[in-house]
Amino acid sequence: MIPTGALVYARSHRSRFLADLMEFVRFPSVSAQPKRAGDVRRCSAWLENHLKKVGLEKVKVVPTQRHPVVYAEWLHARGLPTVLIYGHYDVQPPDPLSEWASPPFEPTVRGNNLYGRGACDDKGQLFTHVKAIESFLHVTGRLPVNVKCLFEGEEEIGSPHLTDFIEQNRRALRANFAVMSDTRMLGPNRPSLTYSVRGQLGLEIEVRGPHHDLHSGNFGGAVHDPLQALCEMISQLHDRNGRVAIPGFYDRVRRWSKTERDYMQRTGPPDRQILRDAETEAGWGERGYSLYERVTVRPSLTINGISGGYEGVGGKAIIPSHALAKLSFRLVPDQDPREIEILFHRHIARITPPTVKSIVRTNQLAKPAVIGRRHPALFAAAAAYRKAFGTNPVFLRSGGSIPVVSTFQRVLAIPTVLMGFALPDDRIHAPNEKFHLPNFYKGIETSIWFLWEISRKAKGRSRFHAPYTQTVESMQIN
Amino acid sequence: MIPTGALVYARSHRSRFLADLMEFVRFPSVSAQPKRAGDVRRCSAWLENHLKKVGLEKVKVVPTQRHPVVYAEWLHARGLPTVLIYGHYDVQPPDPLSEWASPPFEPTVRGNNLYGRGACDDKGQLFTHVKAIESFLHVTGRLPVNVKCLFEGEEEIGSPHLTDFIEQNRRALRANFAVMSDTRMLGPNRPSLTYSVRGQLGLEIEVRGPHHDLHSGNFGGAVHDPLQALCEMISQLHDRNGRVAIPGFYDRVRRWSKTERDYMQRTGPPDRQILRDAETEAGWGERGYSLYERVTVRPSLTINGISGGYEGVGGKAIIPSHALAKLSFRLVPDQDPREIEILFHRHIARITPPTVKSIVRTNQLAKPAVIGRRHPALFAAAAAYRKAFGTNPVFLRSGGSIPVVSTFQRVLAIPTVLMGFALPDDRIHAPNEKFHLPNFYKGIETSIWFLWEISRKAKGRSRFHAPYTQTVESMQIN
């Protein structure tokens, strides 16, 4: 038996699935911007309603201190495994707006792609599972396994309240493993399973100089310019070899075996591919590592934004009173974001010139995570890719951060299958973000096959059965 | 005989003079912002009309390629000197708006001060001469000397078209010397005559990296961040001793005699005064020089603004595609801005990392200028201050730039008397700019005494007569 009914349904309803996704993308659910809080809430209500229509049960919007979580379940596959499906319905800010070919929140199909903020990250990818569920429930009235859906609205701001939510609902969220689609494939015909993500530490440094802006003629040369001081400080965050120059920063970075590095070199993208994906000519960074290693098994520090002084047209003859930089670390096993935060504070205190003051604020924290490549759920996912894409997936490391992966591991004691459908040129977080529509449709089929494979392996009482036998009951979500 | 009538008129019309000034300040004549071009034009028309009402002749608005010049004259003092009165009716941008206690273009009197953008720089100071002229013409129907007024609308953007205008009208603008009020006094009872101004070179550096913003997770560590590169470049513009680190930068900086440095130390503000004026605790800059020397006889480089990447609320995980810095040099005799521009281009080319591209654009150029402290017109100005303020003025150097001073010297072969009424805490170019109203009224009286002193000295055929004997005729302004 194969899931023919669900697959046929999914194929024959592609245009309606796309229309539903466009409705979803239309919400400017930008979690980082307080002015968009209402849009985030409206988006969660729309998603709640949609999950009800799909046939999921106990659908509810659970408020947090900021943006709500949307929960849903279907738990009638007695004795079979429970899969926790995670996704996020919030999106990155769309700036700079002027660089979008079509407005970010007016989803537009051009060629094989759907353009819009969140089309790929993560509304489109989240929807592959929703539509797989719809296909099963519509055709058979049942799912092959038990399913719990957890869709959050704060991923792009570092999931500040998700950990609390998971801890408070640790019994209700019990599952055999989690699955999420928020990562990349190597190319349209090169499906990939991600088995490691980097951690993150988002910070800002404010440098304060004079109490108000000063005339640069009257005071230039006698008062330290906070922008100059900030630049001088930032220039001391990397050494000449592209390494982060904070004392102790590399102390806990895990050294990988030659076997693992060889595997990465065989399966991972070569330098030229990464440069092509970035649409840039020159690589940069830590010597002695490939670009793929630099963005996955090595930590990094990026300056995400700087502002200060006059930024308008023409010039303005001032020494600005303050300057601000936003920056973020990507961390790798076994670095601890809290420890790096302390090292950073110490380093900034050390390099702040006595002529200005500096203040460091933390925006985001997330631990790095790795999943064993031989976990049975990964085998089921690999089989599903093979069926939907006609080819074996490669096992990849991601340079990005998915804080919830380490939370699931720590709080629920379950691994997460990272089954991504994004393409390297989907311009995630950038203007003209898109989702490759063939990946949307194949993603839905992958999810159908995946749920079915899990069920088949569990029923077959194969060696993958063991992890699925624990009883999973429905619990009240708080 | 003394100018009693004019002085009495000036004293009895203070409240109307203030009302006129407030009307003048109400125009947001921001020359740097293209969207304000209409306001600049309306302001010039208002000024034209006002000069006609005052009784000046041949009043006209002369268009340039950008913002117009306002010209007026009164040339009926046969055989007596001609004074070219210069001022500017354009103002600095008012940003950051949120820091203003009252809106920048809604002039507001609080205590002894008039608050508003341009209240001091330079509408209020320009107006001291206009109101002195009004006082003479209303009471006697005559001025003690010949006067030509040249009020420009592009000072705050480096007077890009004024030089052409002066060159094209060099005969019509012939005068014995120029006078302007756009500089500072040391304090409310410490009038000052400025005898040197620094030159200026305003530039911007754009650093370009990837073609579009990249996800800092996917690419962080493998692609050079343009903001980081910009910071690293800016950190190489100064050395550890606070000196500009551009090779050749100091080659033409004039060395002053011990006598001159001693004079500066005696008359100029001590370090603690400059720090108090800046409302900051710590001094900074080139070792071996007082703060007063650092801002007057030593050149400086200030970073006026930086922008790039995400500047909104919260964080955004990107490597930005580009970064921009606005910076300006203050130059001293005998540095040439064109030569420094070339040295800067060379230095930037040398320190731009191969992983990014840099583009340098020039916004402004102005030469430094010095006037001999023993020029007879300075003696007349000193006498006028003594009469109006009851105390001798000190001779000061200014750290600011007044490009027209070197242009008058070069094209018209005349010196400029810098008779300023701004106070150190007037927050020129900053939020809450103000003009100290007692200085407005004493400024008008100083101008009355100044015009009268020039006439008296010329009639007395004193040793100051010689420079005033040349025939000055009215010419058509182009």
Q: What is the pLDDT of residues B269-304, one digit of tens each?
A: 899 999 998 988 889 999 999 999 999 999 999 999
**Which residues in chain B have Cβ-Cβ distances shorter than 8 Å to A232?**
231, 234-235, 238
Q: What does the mean pLDDT of chain A come to?
A: 93
Query: d(Cα A248, Cα B330) in Å, to the nearest integer?
Result: 41
Q: What does the mean pLDDT of chain B come to?
A: 93
B278 touches chain A (CB under 8 A): yes
pTM exceeds 0.90 for this model: no
Query: d(Cα B46, Cα B59) in Å, to the nearest integer?
Result: 12
C-alpha distance from residue B277 to each of A178, A214, A223, B427 (Å):
62, 10, 11, 9
As a 3-state breakdown, chain B gives helix, strand, coil percent values, each rounded to 5, of 35, 25, 40
Residue with tokens 């000519």: A281
CATH topology of domain B199-253+299-366: Alpha-Beta Plaits (3.30.70)
Nearest-CA distance B94 → chain A (Å): 10
Q: Quickly count: other Cβ atoms within 10 Å of residue A102's Cβ.
A: 13
Point out which residues pair with B326 in neighbouring strands: B204, B305
Say how far residue A472 (Cα) sits from the centre of its chain. Answer: 28
Angle between helix A4-12 and helix A14-25 axes, rounded to 10 deg? 70
B183 touches chain A (CB under 8 A): no
Query: d(Cα B406, Cα A38) in Å, to the nearest integer?
Result: 58
One CATH from 3.30.70.20, 2.60.410.10, 3.30.70.360, 3.30.300.130 for A200-253+299-366: 3.30.70.360
Percent of chain B predicted with pLDDT > 70? 96
pLDDT of res. B107: 98
DSSP state of B269: P
Q: Matching CATH topology for B4-197+368-468 and B199-253+299-366?
A: no
Alpha helices in B148-251 (DSSP H): 162-168, 216-219, 226-234
Given an 8 Å threshold on Cβ–Cβ distance, is A315 in contact with B328?
A: yes
Q: What would the pLDDT profile of B47-103 be if each residue is shown by its tens digit?
A: 999 999 999 999 999 999 999 999 999 999 999 999 999 999 999 999 989 999 999
Given an 8 Å threshold on Cβ–Cβ distance, is A221 in contact with B299?
A: yes
In this complex, the residue of A33, A99, A328 whose CB is nearest that of residue B212 is A99
Query: d(Cα B105, Cα A61) in Å, to the nearest integer?
Result: 48
In this complex, the residue of A212, A217, A311 whose CB is nearest that of residue B330 is A217
pLDDT of res. A354: 95
pLDDT higher than threshold 60 for residue A163: yes
Q: What would the pLDDT profile of B112-155 be if each residue is shown by its tens digit?
A: 999 999 999 999 999 999 999 999 999 999 999 999 999 999 99
Query: d(Cα A132, Cα B250) in Å, to the nearest integer?
Result: 71
DSSP state of A400: S
- Split at pLDDT 50, 70, 90, the class of A478 is low
Q: Quickly count: other Cβ atoms within 10 Å of residue B102's Cβ.
A: 13
> Do residues B426 and B225 make contact, with C-beta atoms less than 8 angstroms apart?
no
State residue A352 phi and psi, 5-degree precision.
-75, 120
Q: What would the pLDDT profile of B169-183 be if each residue is shown by its tens digit?
A: 999 999 999 999 998
pLDDT of res. A464: 45
One CATH from 3.30.70.20, 3.20.20.140, 3.40.630.10, 3.40.190.10 for B4-197+368-468: 3.40.630.10
DSSP A402-463: -HHHHHIIIII---EEEE--B-TTS-TTSTT-EEEHHHHHHHHHHHHHHHHHHHHHHHTT-T
Query: d(Cα B223, Cα B243) in Å, to the nearest integer?
Result: 32
Given an 8 Å threshold on Cβ–Cβ distance, is B224 in contact with A284?
A: yes
- Split at pLDDT 50, 70, 90, the class of A5 is very high
Preferred mutation among A156, A182, A301, A318 to probe B, highest tally of B CBs within 10 A: A318
State residue A123 phi and psi, 5-degree precision.
-60, -45
Given an 8 Å threshold on Cβ–Cβ distance, is A220 in contact with B278?
A: no
| Helix/strand/coil for B104 | coil
Query: Rg of the Cα trace of chain A?
Result: 24
User: Regarding beta strands B108-110 and A434-436, do their DSSP bridges make them parallel or antiparallel, or are they unpaired?
Assistant: unpaired
> Do residues A215 and B431 make contact, with C-beta atoms less than 8 angstroms apart?
no
Classify B386 in phi/psi space as left (phi over 0), alpha (psi -120 to 50) or beta. alpha
> Do residues A240 and B221 make contact, with C-beta atoms less than 8 angstroms apart?
no
Q: Averaged over A109-127, what is the pLDDT?
A: 98
As a 3-state breakdown, chain A gives helix, strand, coil percent values, each rounded to 5, of 35, 25, 40
Query: d(Cα A428, Cα A120) in Å, to the nearest integer?
Result: 7
Q: Averaged over A215-236, what is the pLDDT?
A: 96
B354 touches chain A (CB under 8 A): yes
pLDDT of res. A30: 97
Query: d(Cα B258, Cα B260) in Å, to the nearest integer?
Result: 5
pLDDT of res. B273: 92
Preferred mutation among A223, A235, A236, A249 to probe B, highest tally of B CBs within 10 A: A223
pLDDT of res. B240: 92
pLDDT of res. A477: 63
- Split at pLDDT 50, 70, 90, the class of A416 is very high
Angle between helix B123-140 and helix B37-54 axes, rounded to 10 deg? 20
For chain B positions 49-68, those within 8 Å of chain A (CB to CB) are: none
Question: Burial letters for A377-392: b for 16+ Cβ neighbours within 10 Å, e otherwise?
Answer: bbbbbbbbbbbbbeee
Query: d(Cα A453, Cα B223) in Å, to the nearest integer?
Result: 39
Preferred mutation among A401, A429, A434 to probe B, highest tally of B CBs within 10 A: A429
**Which residues in chain B have Cβ-Cβ distances shorter than 8 Å to A365?**
none
Q: ∠ at Cα B435 (B430, B438), nearest 5°?
A: 155
- Split at pLDDT 50, 70, 90, the class of A401 is confident
pLDDT of res. A317: 87
Q: What would the pLDDT profile of B296-342 be if each residue is shown by its tens digit?
A: 999 999 999 999 999 888 888 899 999 999 999 999 999 999 999 99
Query: Rg of the Cα trace of chain B?
Result: 24
Percent of chain A predicted with pLDDT > 90? 80
Given an 8 Å threshold on Cβ–Cβ distance, is A227 in contact with B305?
A: yes
State residue B210 phi and psi, 5-degree precision.
-65, 160
Find the closest chain B residue to A354 by CA distance. Answer: B282
| Helix/strand/coil for B39 | helix
Given an 8 Å threshold on Cβ–Cβ distance, is A218 in contact with B310?
A: no
B241 touches chain A (CB under 8 A): no
pLDDT of res. A472: 42
pLDDT higher than threshold 60 for residue A352: yes
B219 touches chain A (CB under 8 A): yes
> Do residues A183 and A192 make contact, with C-beta atoms less than 8 angstroms apart?
yes
Q: CA end-to-end span of chain B, whole Å?
A: 39
pLDDT higher than threshold 50 for residue B464: no
Q: What would the pLDDT profile of B214-252 be if each residue is shown by its tens digit?
A: 999 989 999 999 999 999 999 999 999 999 999 999 999
Name the residue among B199, B250, B193, B201 with its Cα closest to residue B371: B193
> Do residues A276 and B219 make contact, with C-beta atoms less than 8 angstroms apart?
no
Query: d(Cα B230, Cα A227) in Å, to the nearest integer?
Result: 11
Number of helices (H) and strands (E), helices first, in chain A? 14, 18
Token pair recorded at residue A235: 């220039």
State residue A434 phi and psi, 5-degree precision.
-140, 165
Question: Burial letters for B117-136: b for 16+ Cβ neighbours within 10 Å, e otherwise?
Answer: bbbbbbbbbbbbbbbbbbbb
State residue A365 phi and psi, 5-degree precision.
-140, 135
Q: Averaged over A181-205, what is the pLDDT?
A: 92
Token pair recorded at residue A469: 């036998």
For chain B, the domains span 4-197+368-468, 199-253+299-366
Q: What would the pLDDT profile of A39-62 be if each residue is shown by its tens digit?
A: 999 999 999 999 999 999 999 999
Q: What would the pLDDT profile of A368-392 be if each residue is shown by its tens digit?
A: 988 877 888 988 999 999 999 999 9
| Helix/strand/coil for A58 | strand
Token pair recorded at residue A109: 């199909």
Nearest-CA distance A149 → chain B (Å): 26
For this complex, say whether ipTM is above 0.85.
no
B201 touches chain A (CB under 8 A): no
Point out which residues pair with A200 in neighbouring strands: A330, A366
B99 touches chain A (CB under 8 A): yes
pLDDT of res. A410: 84
| Helix/strand/coil for A27 | coil
> Do residues B295 and B196 make contact, with C-beta atoms less than 8 angstroms apart?
no
State residue A453 phi and psi, 5-degree precision.
-65, -40
Cis? peptide before A426, omega within 30° of 0 = no
A241 touches chain B (CB under 8 A): no
DSSP B306-375: EEEE--SSS---EE-SEEEEEEEEEE-TT--HHHHHHHHHHHHHHHS-TTSEEEEEEEEEE--EE--TT-
- Split at pLDDT 50, 70, 90, the class of B461 is low
Query: d(Cα B442, Cα B421) in Å, to the nearest integer?
Result: 9
Percent of chain A predicted with pLDDT > 70? 96
| Helix/strand/coil for B397 | strand
Query: d(Cα A205, Cα B227) in Å, to the nearest integer?
Result: 14
For chain B positions 9-38, those within 8 Å of chain A (CB to CB) are: 32-34
DSSP run (H or E) holding A365:
strand A357-366
Of the ranges A23-37, A241-255, B268-282, B367-381, which one carries the lowest mean pLDDT score? Answer: B367-381
Label residue B245 exposed, middle or buried (CB < 10 Å: 0-12, 13-18, 19+): middle
DSSP state of A270: P
| Helix/strand/coil for A49 | helix
Query: d(Cα B363, Cα B368) in Å, to the nearest integer?
Result: 17
Query: d(Cα A177, Cα B128) in Å, to the nearest integer?
Result: 80
pLDDT higher than threshold 50 for residue A470: no
